Each structure stands twice: as C-alpha cells, then as structure tokens.
Amino acid sequence: MATKKTSPKKNATTQAGPVKSAAKKQAVAKPAAKASAAEKILVGIVMGSTSDWDVMKEAAQVCREFGIPYEARALSAHRSPAELEVWISEMEKRGCQAFIAGAGGAAHLAGVVASQTIIPIFAVPMPSKYMKGLDSLLATVQMPRGIPVPTLAIGEAGAANAALAVVAMLALHDTDLRKKLEEFRSRQSEKVREASLLEFA
C-alpha cells in the first residue's frame, strides 16, 4: 500500500523559532520541522493562542539556556481539543517529562492537559485585557482536588519560573543539570551582592 506524504506540522517550534496557529488535524501527529519523530523531547510548552508566545517564550528561553529539549505548540483547549489530545499522546511517546501550559481568560488549557496525562503540568496564567490576568490566575489555580496543576505567577515571570521548576524537577536525577542549576542560582546571588544604589543629588 502506498504511503501518503504529509508535510511537517506548521504550529510547532523545537528549541527555537516562531509558534504559529494550529494547523489541520492531520498535521498534528507529524514531527516538527526541526525535530525527527524519534527525537526525545523532555518538555512540552503549549499555549492557547499564538499571541501568548510573547509570554511563553520566556519558558522556552530557560529550556534553551539549560540545554533541555522542548517543543512549543499553540493549541486551544476549546478550539482544537482533538489536536491537543493527539499532541499530548505524541509527546508522551517521545519521552516528555513535563508540560508547561499557558492560557488566558477561562484558562482551561492546563487542566485539560492534566486530565489526559499523569506527566506533571506547570501552569502559567496569561495577562488579559480587562482583568489583567486575575481571571486567568483564578481559573487556573482553583483546580478541584484530584488533578493537581501547580500554578505560577501571571505573565513572563511565571513562564520563566515554570521552566525553572521543571529544571529543578529534572535535576533530581541529572547531576549535570543539577550543577547548571546550582551555578545559575550562584550567579543570581552574585548579581545581588554586586548591585549598588545610585546616589541622588
């Protein structure tokens, strides 16, 4: 039987690159343009809209700094639930150890991801137009008992800290990563010690 050729999915980024809107359902299960289907991806970064990438790229940047393979996707819990389910399944097969999910408003994305996998989920509430992200925070953090979704701060700080939380989790069983995290913490402390206040006239 002839194998039908399909193009790589167009709404993914692996290690770097833009996040585009969700493509056709058929394309979701295919590997990203920069990653083979067999490549191990440790972190899945997902957001409800491409507009969330300005915030969620902070999580991707942390993964890059620590040399952690990741894949970022724009998939909606409401508008593309079937594609989201397929992607979660594919990520599990590729060795994913943690998901970072960012969404705004009703912010169901992290909870939906958590409902479909036992892999740890770290949620990032997105800033919103009318409530400045308070709606996103409350919708995400108030998960019912039984399906935990650890929730970080609203916005860029939350995205970066979500990735750092994943780094700490992975470092428990990775001595090289543990050393990198310790060095990162040390550099932060050094910056504080070296900081000085400007005098005023």
What CATH number does the domain containing 102 carry? 3.40.50.1970
The answer as to whether 107 is a domain residue is yes
The answer as to whether 72 is a domain residue is yes
The answer as to whether 111 is a domain residue is yes
The answer as to whether 58 is a domain residue is yes
The whole-number pLDDT of residue 94 equals 97
The answer as to whether 159 is a domain residue is yes
87-100 pLDDT, tens digit per residue, is 999 999 999 999 99
1-56 pLDDT, tens digit per residue, is 444 444 445 566 666 444 544 444 333 333 333 445 567 999 999 999 999 999 99
Total domains present in the chain: 1
Residue 73 has pLDDT above 50, yes or no: yes
Q: Which residue has the tokens 């969330």?
A: 52
Burial class (CB in 10 A: 0-12, 13-18, 19+), 40: exposed
The answer as to whether 14 is a domain residue is no
Segment 180-190 mean pLDDT: 95
CA distances from 128 to 13, 104, 111, 149 (A): 24, 6, 18, 20
The whole-number pLDDT of residue 38 equals 63
pTM of the model: 0.82
Judge contact between 52 and 104, C-beta under 8 A.
Answer: yes
183: domain range?
Answer: 38-193
The answer as to whether 143 is a domain residue is yes
95-124 pLDDT, tens digit per residue, is 999 999 999 999 999 999 999 999 999 999
The answer as to whether 16 is a domain residue is no
Q: Name the DSSP class of 41.
A: -
